[in-house]
Amino acid sequence: METSSAGYLVVGGEFTNVNGIAQSGLAVFRQAKLATSTVKTELISKPLVVSLSSGTTRIGWRATYDRESSSLTYQVLRDDSATPIATITKTSRWYDLPEMSFTDTSVAPGTTHTYKIRRSTVTPNSRISPASTAITVASSGPLGAYTSLVSNDGADKLIRFDEAAGSTTVTDTLGRGSVTVGSITLGTSGAITSSAARTAATFSGTSSSYATISTTTTRRAPSRSEVWFKDHHDQGRQDHRLRPDGLGNSGRYDRQIYLKHAGKGVTSGCTTTAVHAINTSASFNDGQWHHVVGTRAQTYGALRGRKR
């Protein structure tokens, strides 16, 4: 390795590629202040759009990354206009791509729109996503108080289980992913009694009774998971878990929330080569509704738990 007063760094080695470009032998790098960027930001995925209440749309997308900067600015574009309706800056890296969203409140009920996301920067690093599927803005509403609270709090996903009894499909209210279910009973009495849809889902406690969502999160990313549950059994059961391989029936898991045997405490933990967990001393298999929050900080292995 050798540096020069002209602002170059020369590195020798058997490189096959550098920054995605074929390379062999010596690699030459300029100082950032002298370099002219020729490496584009990675592609931005097609945004997902839902209309949850009259006169509003919620646009969601996953952040991308840039090899030269971790702080990226995104612009939300509506229809064919090149003028952004929102500009948002977010930190991301190739191993940590957070979910992002914006709520558009300037659309008329009954109108139809598409959205794109543009990485705001100078050429050649500018990127623009494919257009979203066209969405017709809701003409009725408003959004329920509980759903509004969750959405405004920045949640990525919300599974209400508010479908009618006998339904075989379940939706993510915030539109960020598809939900797959197996052997559950919908239409049972729920925890949020102030909601227009006061229902919940009953699970049998077997491996064939589940609900999974298709979106993923990075292993080291900070996260918060919340779940309402009611249980009166003596056997331990898992109310919520994240699986690193994304498989619905996997033995691998991370950041799970579950009842131990005999209902002796709620545990929120993550598993690498060993289990790291925090526990409560109380029992919660009392047949009453409980709200539990499991938070994982960005510091690896740091766990926080809270019961409400």
pLDDT in tens, 180-201: 888 899 988 888 877 666 789 9
Give the integer Cα–Cα distance in Å for 178 and 191. Answer: 23
Give the integer Cα–Cα distance in Å for 35 and 117. Answer: 27
Amino acid in position 131? A
Higher pLDDT, 82 or 213: 82
Give the chain's radius of gyration (CA, Å): 23
Give the integer Cα–Cα distance in Å for 102 and 57. Answer: 8
Confirm if 253 and 271 have CB atoms less than 8 A apart: yes
For the record, the structure tokens of 303 come out as 């766990």
Higher pLDDT, 56 or 28: 56
Give the integer Cα–Cα distance in Å for 209 and 108. Answer: 41
Asked if residue 301 has pLDDT above 50, the reply is no
What pairs with residue 49 in β-bridges? 59
**48-136 classified as CATH 1.10.3470:** no
Question: How confident is the model at residue 37, as a pLDDT?
Answer: 59
Q: What is the mean pLDDT of residues 143-159?
A: 79
Give the integer Cα–Cα distance in Å for 87 and 90. Answer: 10
Q: What is the mean pLDDT of residues 238-244?
A: 52
Give the integer Cα–Cα distance in Å for 115 and 110. Answer: 16
Asked if residue 41 has pLDDT above 80, the reply is no
Residues contacting 61, CB < 8 A, separation 6+: 44, 45, 46, 47, 48, 74, 99, 100, 101, 117, 129
Instruction: Give the pairing of strands 57-62 and 99-104.
Output: antiparallel
SS3 state at 175 = coil
Beta strands in 159-217 (DSSP E): 179-182, 184-189, 199-203, 210-213
- The stretches of the chain forming alpha helices (DSSP H) are 145-152
Amino acid in position 239? D
Return mean pLDDT, the chain: 77
Q: What is the mean pLDDT of residues 44-51?
A: 88
Asked if residue 239 has pLDDT above 90, the reply is no
Question: How confident is the model at residue 176, as a pLDDT?
Answer: 66
SS3 state at 211 = strand
Please tell me which of 3-7, 66-70, 131-135 the model is most confident about, judged by mean pLDDT.
131-135
Question: 66-70, 81-85, 180-184: which range is least confident on average?
Answer: 66-70
Question: How confident is the model at residue 245, as a pLDDT?
Answer: 43
């064939």: which residue's tokens?
208
pTM assigned to the model:
0.66
Question: How confident is the model at residue 148, as a pLDDT?
Answer: 78
- CATH 2.60.40 maps onto the chain at 48-136
CA distances to 24, 154, 175 from 214, rounded to whole Å, are: 40, 19, 11
Asked if residue 219 has pLDDT above 70, the reply is no
Question: 97-111, 243-257, 267-281: which range is least confident on average?
Answer: 243-257
* pLDDT band, very low/low/confident/very high, at 84 (cuts 50, 70, 90): very high
Question: 162-176, 211-225, 261-275, 289-303: which range is least confident on average?
Answer: 261-275
Give the integer Cα–Cα distance in Å for 41 and 92. Answer: 12
Give the integer Cα–Cα distance in Å for 241 and 225. Answer: 9
Give the integer Cα–Cα distance in Å for 107 and 134. Answer: 13
For the record, the structure tokens of 158 come out as 């919300």
Q: What is the mean pLDDT of residues 221-250?
A: 64
Question: How confident is the model at residue 34, as a pLDDT?
Answer: 67
* pLDDT band, very low/low/confident/very high, at 244 (cuts 50, 70, 90): very low
Question: How confident is the model at residue 89, as a pLDDT?
Answer: 93
Question: 88-102, 144-158, 181-195: which range is least confident on average?
Answer: 144-158
Confirm if 60 and 68 have CB atoms less than 8 A apart: no
Higher pLDDT, 240 or 5: 5
Question: How confident is the model at residue 207, as a pLDDT?
Answer: 79
CA distances to 63, 79, 234 from 99, rounded to whole Å, are: 6, 22, 37
Please tell me which of 35-39, 112-116, 193-197, 240-244 the model is most confident about, judged by mean pLDDT.
112-116
